[in-house]
Every structure is written in structure tokens, then in C-alpha cells.
Structure 1
Amino acid sequence: MTTDVLRYTAFTTRPDGGNPAGIVLDASALSDGDMLKIAADLGYSESAFLTPPPAGGDQGERVYTLRFFSPKAEVSFCGHATVATAVALAERHGTGDYLFHTPAGEVPVTVDHADGALRATLTSVAPHVKDVRESDLAEALAALDWPAADLDPALPPRIAFAGNDHLVLAAATRERLADLAYDFDRLAALMHRLDLTTIQLVYRTGEFTFDVRDPFPVGGVVEDPATGAAAAAFGAYARELGLVGEESVLTLHQGDDLGRPGVLTVTLRAGDPRVRVSGSAVSLD
């Protein structure tokens, strides 16, 4: 069986930036094992697989079931692969609105033109934020080899959800964020126990701007270059803690430390708990 696999990179307009993802536009004939093997062979942090929408749900030519696989397992939600998939579909079927049924819930995406490129905006499922236990925080810091004194007290640790869980840890200095050398197996074990998808490491560079990094050992990847799901979770975190107003636009810079710069735009709207994450994507084929 031959399966057409597209390769795109999201949250950038450059092939050497952002986060690459594999995309299969018709995965109807693939088993879970087939999808996992494709994702593992590609080696990207996630790959996306499209099939027709489930019976009894929303139907239409722009409605799909969308699943995500890392090289090690299925993931309930992946922002960069969603953006990449939406842009790939828009190149073939036109800009406008798409709807994806994901394991995390329904995720609407709008694709339009911005600055000469296609740009996708996804709307997250309803987010929430919760405390992290002191013992779990201590274990995370030990695995990262981060002294507690290196955390920014203005951005306290929390677990944030917008499709899956991410532990948000804020560095007090840019140098702390840049120095990332962690115990892969130890951090992965903690993340499996807490059902975390990434660790969202952040450094605030301005009122609405942040540098971020995302270790992703549970996916078999040391670091994710640009993480839309974590960006959505972080938007919920920033609003919940009053770091920004209810009506705000945040800019997250990710991938610079890996040599794959990407930009993620996070939009918060008053009266709507969901978080919007926008970015461009380009083909690598």
C-alpha cells in the first residue's frame, strides 16, 4: 500500500523555520499501527491524519476527523499539525472555514491570506488551569536541573489545558531558558504520570511577548520547535493569572534556540473562554 505523505512546517513562512509535520490527507485505509509507523519513520514531533467526519456529527466537504501521532504514541491534540493541515487543505480547496473532529474535541480553523502567505487560526476547546503539587514541581525542576530560585515568581507554575495538559514554568532570566539540558527519562516518567504533553518553559520579554521552549520527551522528541497546543494552554494560563487582559494578543517566539525560529500569535477575547492560535505554514516538498 502506498500512502501519500505531505511535509509542511508550521508557524513560519520559511522552510528552515517553525515545526515540521507530516500530513496524510486521506488516512481512511490506515490502521492505528500504520499511522504510528508513518509518524515514527518521519521522526517529526507529530504527524496528522485526516479521515471523513464521524457519522451523526457535523458533515460537509470541509469537515474532517483529524488525529495526531508522535513517533511514540497518539496525541489528543497538536496545534502545529492542525495549522499545517489547514494550510495544506486551503491550498487545494481554498481559504475559509474548516472544522476538525479531534480526540480533544471540535477545533474550528479559519484560513486566510496575511502578508502574502496563508495563515491559519485555530480555536481551542474550552481551557482550564490548575495548581501543580509541590512534590511534582520539585521533581520537574530536578529533571530539568533548574534551581527553584531560577523561576520567575511573577509567573507561578501551573498546569494549563487547551486540548491537553502542559506544565508552565517561567524562567527568571533568558539565560536560564537558553540553558536546556535535562534528564530525558526522568522528565518523561513524570510527564507520563501526570499525563502532560509538554513542559511549557517561558520567559517574558515584554508586556505581550514571550520566548518559549517545549521539552517533549513523551513523544520521543527532546524539544518541540513550535507548539500550538502549548501556546493555547499558555494563553489560558496568562488570562487566568491576570498577566494580561481578557482582550489581548500575545506573541510567542519559539524555536530560536534550535535554529528553527517560529512565531505563534495567541488571541484572547473577552467573554469567550476559548483561545485562538494563529500562524502560517509552508510546504517542505
Structure 2
Amino acid sequence: MSETALTGDVLRYTAFSADPDGGNPAGVVLDASGLTDDAMLAIAAGLGYSESVFLTAAPDGAGPPGRTFAVRYFSPKAEVPFCGHATVAAAVALAERIGAGDLVFETRAGTVPVSVAAPADGGPPRATLTSVEPRVEPVADADLTEALAALDWPAADLDPALPSRIAYAGARHLVVGAATRARLAELRYDYARLEALMHRLDLTTLQLVWRESADVFHVRDPFPVGGVVEDPATGAAAAAFGAYARELGLVPVPSVLTLHQGTELGRPGVLTVELRADDRRVRVSGAGTPIGA
């Protein structure tokens, strides 16, 4: 199909699951050329998903014609620089209309290449995004203490093998390691207190992590700054976590990691994180599928 198939309709897709009831839902507008900032924010707020994504055709010369898009992301509260699950959702929606293959998303965080493959078994498409250049930085002791107080997590419940850091691969996330699966499962936090800290540190989510095995992790992501208590599947945080795992030497490189998220919310999803020896950027992949009306 051609670009004429890209309408301004609000589509609904889920990412990181082949099941419409799993993963993380996103609103997707494939032609947002007629929308103002206020209109995009209103659509995102009306849908109530953790993020919605809005695409317009990129200027000539910006990348492959017809497959390069300027992309913006809005939570119910504000615009965010990058969102992984909405990227996957948009890429799958595009693939269903203009065909699988390579795409280029020009985001406010930078250029994000995305590839979409159609499985041979006829299942839903699978998208892989390549992050912008990542970085990892320390978190001040006082800020970590405040985060733990907002979470109501005693310091003794942390995993010393997963030291807390702020990681970035398009958006900033505070990574905090839980010592047990039970600790991760117990999440009742002080919404206003955590939101205030996250605004001060310019964080998009907290990436709360429990390590099941050498390459399998379970994660949860509080997202009060976006107006959502918890994000069901967080591609940007998965990319940041990949950078974190590499920087701290927690996994070998190259490596492929599996992150499970959304189980506690009744929307299980699976995020695949790939680290390559020849490229510090992180690749995050997952399935995507439309959500019925």
C-alpha cells in the first residue's frame, strides 16, 4: 500500500505482545500533519495510555522517501522525547500499510532506525528499534534514599549486584535492583513524592528490576510523571537497561536479554534486548498487534 493509506485516524495497537490484551497499548496517528500540540496532548489524555505516537512525513532528503517520519510522543500529561513501546506500535501499524522493512524515525531524542519483519508463520509483525547513543551516570545517595522512601523499599531489599544508576537511551530512567521477586511484586508507592523526585531528576520512569537468571529479568516501571501509575511494557527503559547492563559488566557482550513486564498488571509482555560488540547502541524488539475497538 502507499502513503495514501496513512490517515489521521487514531489507531490502537499494543506492543511487546502478540495478544491484544497483553503488552503496552499505544495510540497511533500515522498522519498527524493537521494536529497542533494541544490536539496531540488531548488525544493522548483521552486515550489514557501511557503514551501515544504521532507521525508526519519527514522533509525530503531526511532519509528513505516514504519510510522516514518525524515522530512525537505524548503521555496523558506531557510530551516525552522518546517512547519505545509506541515506536514498536507505530512501526507495526506502518508495516501493515506500506510493507515490512526498514524505517527511520526522527524523534526529539535523535534518529531511531526501526526494522519490521513479518514472521514466516503468519504471526503478527515484530519490530526492532535501535536506540540513540546511550549513557549511564551515578545517582546521588540522597536522591536514591528519597526514591526508596517514596517506594517504601528498605535499602536491605535491594540487590547489591544491581547497583542503582541513571541510564539513558533516549529517555532517562533510574534503575533500581530488587533482591527478590516478592520485593518487585510489592509495589505501592507515594505517587506525589515519587513524581516530584522524578521531575527534579528529569526521569521518565523508574526501572525496577529483579534478575531471574543470567539473561532473564523481570521489570516494573512507575510512571507518575506521565499521569500513569505504572507502565505495562517500557521499550525506552529496556534500552536504557541494556546500556546499564553493558556498562556495569553484568552480562557478556554480545548478548541477548529477555525482559518480562506487565504480569502484575494483567498485561504480560516480553521485550528482547540485544547488545552488540561492534555498536554501543541498544536494540529492543517485540511483537505488536492491533487492539480491537
- Tell me the TM-score normalised to structure 2 length: 0.95
Shift of 1:205: 0.3
Cα distance between partner residues in 1 of 2:42 and 2:286: 28
Residue number in structure 1 paired with 2:118 = 113
CA offsets per residue over residues 100-136 of structure 1, 9 Å max, x none? 0000000000000235221000000000000000000
Residue number in structure 2 paired with 1:41 = 46
The correspondence of residues 35-184 of structure 1 with structure 2, limited to 5 A, is 35-54=40-59, 57-58=62-63, 60-114=65-119, 115=121, 116-184=123-191
CA offsets per residue over residues 48-72 of structure 1, 9 Å max, x none? 0001214663351100001000000
Q: Is the 8 A contact 1:126 1:273 kept in 2?
A: yes
User: In structure 2, which of residues 8, 28, 31 is the aligned counterpart of residue 23 of structure 1?
Assistant: 28
2:94 partner amino acid: L
CA offsets per residue over residues 83-102 of structure 1, 9 Å max, x none? 00000000011110000000
> Does the alignment pair 1:233 with 2:256?
no
Q: Which runs of 5+ in 2 are unaligned?
A: 1-6
Residue number in structure 2 paired with 1:195 = 202
SS of equivalent to 1:266: strand
1:86 partner amino acid: A
Number of residue pairs matched by the alignment: 284
Q: Is the 8 A contact 2:82 2:109 kept in 1?
A: yes
Q: Is the 8 A contact 1:254 1:261 kept in 2?
A: yes
Q: Is the 8 A contact 2:163 2:176 kept in 1?
A: yes
CA offsets per residue over residues 212-247 of structure 1, 9 Å max, x none? 000000000000000000000000000100000120
Cα distance between partner residues in 2 of 1:131 and 1:62: 38
1:16 partner amino acid: D
Q: Is the 8 A contact 2:62 2:68 kept in 1?
A: no
Q: Which runs of 4+ in 1 moved over 6 A?
A: none
Residue number in structure 2 paired with 1:212 = 219
> Does the alignment pair 1:224 with 2:231?
yes
Shift of 1:271: 2.0
> Does the alignment pair 1:254 with 2:238?
no
Task: Kindly report the root-mean-square deviation, in angstroms, between the aligned alpha carbons of the 2 structures.
Answer: 1.1
Q: Is the 8 A contact 2:273 2:284 kept in 1?
A: yes
User: In structure 2, which of residues 270, 275, 279 is the aligned counterpart of residue 268 of structure 1?
Assistant: 275
Q: Percent identity?
A: 71
- Tell me the TM-score normalised to structure 1 length: 0.98
Cα distance between partner residues in 1 of 2:96 and 2:278: 33
Cα distance between partner residues in 1 of 2:111 and 2:253: 23
SS of equivalent to 1:117: coil
Q: Which runs of 5+ in 1 are unaligned?
A: none
